[in-house]
Amino acid sequence: MMELAQEKLNIIYGYQKFREGQERLIYQILNKQSSLAIMPTGSGKSLCYQIPALILDGVTVVVTPLISLMKDQVDSLKHLGIEATYINSTLTSTEEKERLHGLKRQFYKLVYVAPERLAQAKFIDITKRLNISLVAIDEAHCLSQWGHDFRPSYRKIPDWIQQLKEKPTILALTATATNKVKNDLMSHLYLDDDQLVSTGYARSNLTLTVLKNVERVSYVLKYLKANRHSSGILYSTTRKDVEMLYHQLKKEGLSVTYYHGGLSEAERQMNQEKFLFDEASIMIATNAFGMGINKSNVRFIIHYQLPRTIEAYYQEAGRAGRDGEESECILLFSPQDIRTQQYLIEQSNQDPDRQAQEYENLQKMIGYCHTDACLSEYILRYFGESSSKPCGKCYNCKTQGQLIDRTKEAQIILSTIKRLRERYGKTMIAQVVVGSSNQKVKQWNLDDVSTYGLLNSWSLKETTSFIDYLIAEQFLKPTNSSYPVLELTNKALYVLKGQQKIEQRIRENIESVSEDDDIFLILKEKRRQLAKEKQLPPYYIFS
Ligand code: ADP
Ligand code: MG
C-alpha cells in the first residue's frame, strides 16, 4: 500500500518524496493504527491524512477549528481533482442539504467540519451509519485544557466517535504540545506511546531575537521600512494596539492590513485574503489571526508585546518560513507587558488550578526574555527536548554583550528569600531588598531581615527583572499557585555558599526602561471599574 501512497504523492501532488514523519504516519494510518502527530508548522501534516483518505475505502472526516479556512483547503483539494467538501454555518440551507446528501451517499472522500457540528443530531444521524475510515483531528492541542488554545467543543470528538458504527482510525495532529498536553491528548484519544510520531520542534530556518526595552513604534517602523518587500505578521496583545499600529504604519506608506476579533466576519475574511494574496505585505493582528494559515512566504514575525505562553509564541512565530527559507522571529519585550498578561489571566479564568497553570506558563515566557542561553534551545527544552545544542544564530548566540558579575546581588536576594522562609513572591522580595517604604514591608520586624535595603541602588523594576533572570536560569522556582511564592533550587544553595558565581550577560541597557508606568495605572483603574461592573471592558478582550 505504501507504493500507492508514493504514487499519489508523485502524481496527484507532484512532490518527489515524503518529508520526515509523513511516511511513518501514512503507514500507521493505512494499517489502521490511530496516531498522534507532533510535527512543526509547515512540515506537511495535511498530507498525512489526505493521502490515506484517497486510499482507504470510506470517508475521512477532518475536524478543524477554523471555519474561515475550510473553503481554502477544500478548494485546493478540488484543484487536485479530489472529491472534498466542507459543512459549516456559512452554507445556505440548500447547500447544506445537498452536501449532507452527498455525504450520505459517500460521494466525498474528505469532509471538513468544525467540532461543534459533531454534536448536531442531524449530523450524528447521518454519520452513525456511514463507513468512516479515518477521523483527522487538526490543531489537536485544542482538545487539552492545558493547551494554549483549549476549545471545549473539541471534547465532543471522542463522544461522537463512540457512536459510530465502526471505530475509525484517528489521526490527531498538532505543532505544539508540551508533555502535559501530549499526555492529555493521548489519554482522551486512548493512544499509547508507540502511536506517537514526533519529528521534534526544531525549526532551523528561523532566527529568534528578543529585544528588551526598545522604543517599539520606531523600531517596528524602521524594521518594516527596511523590509518593505517581504511579507510578515506583527502580533499585538490588544485590539486597541492593533488599530493604533495599523493607522500609524499606513500613514507611513507601508502596505498593511489588520485583523482582530472585533472586526466583522466579512472584514476579517477580506483582510485575511489581502494578506494571503500579497495585496498587503504586512498583517497586524491579535492572536485571533493565523491558526491554520498556509502562507509559505512569510519572512518575519514580530511580537509587539510579550505573548502569554511559549506554546502560543512558538506557534505564532512558526508561521514564518513555512517554505523553508530563512526567516526572522523578533519579540519586543518590556516589563510592563507582564502586568498586562497577569491582568488578562486574572480576568479570564475563575478556576484556580487553571490560573496557577497560566501563571507558571507566563513565567516560562518571561524566562525566555531573560535567559542568557540560546533562545532556540530554551524553547526546545520547554517542549521536553533535552538534547538540543545552541543554534549559533539566535540573538543570544550572536551577540556577546558584556559579562557582569552579579553574585553579590544574587546572594542578597537569595538569602532574603531564605530568611523569609520562602513564603513570598517576586514583588515583596524586591521591595525588601531595595528598602521600600511600603507599609506591608514596614510592618515586619525588619531586624530579622538584615538584607533590607541592601540593594537600594537598584530600582524596583531592575530588581524584579533580575529576579526573573534568576528564575529563568533556575536559581529560583516559583511555586505552582495563583500567587506564586519563590523557592530556592539546589543551584541557589551553591551561590549562597559562595561556590558558584553568577555572571549576567548584559546586551543592552536593561535599566533604561523607555516606557512609563501608565499602563499600570490604567489597569488599576480598570480593575476598580470592573469590580463594579463585573464585566470585561471591550478594550481588554484581547483576541
Ligand atoms: P502543516 O499543517 O504541518 O503546517 P501543511 O500540511 O499545510 O503543513 O503543508 C505545508 C506545505 O508543505 C504545503 O504547501 C504542502 O503542500 C507542502 N508539502 C507537504 N508535504 C510535502 C512534501 N512531501 N514535499 C513537498 N512539499 C510538501
Ligand atoms: Mg496544518
Ligand 1 centre from 287 Cα, in Å? 23
- What's the pLDDT at 445? 63
If you take atom 27 of ligand 1, which residue's CA is the nearest one? Answer: 44
- 8, 12, 15: which to mutate for ligand 1, most atoms within 8 A of CB? 15
Q: How far is the CA of 297 from the centre of ligand 1 (A)?
A: 13
Q: Judge if the beta carbon of residue 8 lies within 6 A of ligand 1.
A: no
**DSSP assignments along 95-132, one per residue:** HHHHHHHHHHTT--SEEEE-GGGGG-HHHHHHHHTS-E
Q: For helices 336-348 and 518-533, what crossing angle results, to 10°?
A: 10
pLDDT at 349: 67
Residue ID of nearest Cα to ligand 1 atom 26:
15
* Residue 294 DSSP code: -
* Shortest-distance atom of ligand 1 to CA 138: 2
Residue of the nearest CA to atom 16 in ligand 1? 44
**Sign of the alpha-carbon torsion through 284, 280, 255, 320:** positive
Yes or no: say if 6 and 54 are a contact pair by the CB < 8 Å rule: no
CA of 39 to the centre of ligand 2 (A): 10
In angstroms, the Cα distances linking 529 to 380, 524, 525 are 41, 9, 6
Burial state string for 123-155 with b = 16 or more CB within 10 A and e = fewer than 16: beeebeebebbbbbbbbbbbbbbbbbbbbebbb
- Dist. CA 292 → ligand 2 center (Å): 5
Residue type, position 163, single letter: Q
CA of 315 to the centre of ligand 1 (A): 16
- For residue 400, the model assigns a pLDDT of 78
**Gap between the Cα atoms of 300 and 197, Å rounded:** 28
**How many angstroms separate the CA atoms of 498 and 308, rounded?**
35
> How far is Cα 396 from Cα 465, in angstroms, rounded to an integer?
17
DSSP H or E run through 315: helix 310-317
Residue of minimum CA distance from atom 15 in ligand 1: 44
Residue located via cell numbers 452536501: 99
Q: Give whole-number Cα distances, 55 to 188, 221, 238, in Å.
A: 27, 50, 45
Q: How far is the CA of 60 from the centre of ligand 2 (A)?
A: 16
What ligand is nearest to the CA atom of residue 45? 1
Q: What is the DSSP string of 131-176?
A: -EEEEEETTGGGG-TTSTT--GGGGHHHHHHHTSSSPPEEEEEES-
Nearest bound ligand to CA 295? 1
Q: For position 538, what pLDDT does the model report? A: 33
Exposure class string for 177-191: b at 16+ Cβ within 10 A, else e: bbeebbebbbebbeb
Angle, CA of 298, 299 and 300, to the nearest 5°: 100
| Whether the CB of 39 sits within 6 Å of ligand 1 | yes
State CA 238 to chain mean position distance: 16
Nine cell digits for residue 460: 524596583
Answer yes or no: is the C-beta of 19 below 6 A from any ligand 1 atom.
Answer: yes
Give the whole-angstrom CA distance, residue 48 versus residue 134: 11
DSSP strand pairing (402-405 vs 503-506) = antiparallel
Q: What is the pLDDT, as a whole number, of residue 508?
A: 61
In tens digits, the chain (543 residues) has pLDDT values of 899 999 999 999 999 999 989 999 999 999 999 999 999 887 899 999 999 999 999 999 999 987 877 888 899 999 999 999 999 988 999 999 999 999 999 999 999 999 999 999 999 999 999 999 999 999 999 999 887 778 899 999 999 999 998 999 999 999 888 888 999 999 999 898 889 999 888 899 999 999 988 899 999 999 999 998 899 999 999 999 999 999 999 999 999 999 999 999 899 989 998 998 888 999 999 999 987 777 889 999 999 999 999 999 999 999 999 888 999 999 999 888 988 888 888 887 678 888 888 888 999 999 999 998 899 999 999 998 877 789 999 999 988 778 899 999 999 999 999 988 899 999 899 999 998 888 777 776 666 678 888 999 999 988 999 999 999 888 999 887 767 899 999 999 999 999 999 998 887 643 333 333 334 444 444 444 544 544 433 333 333
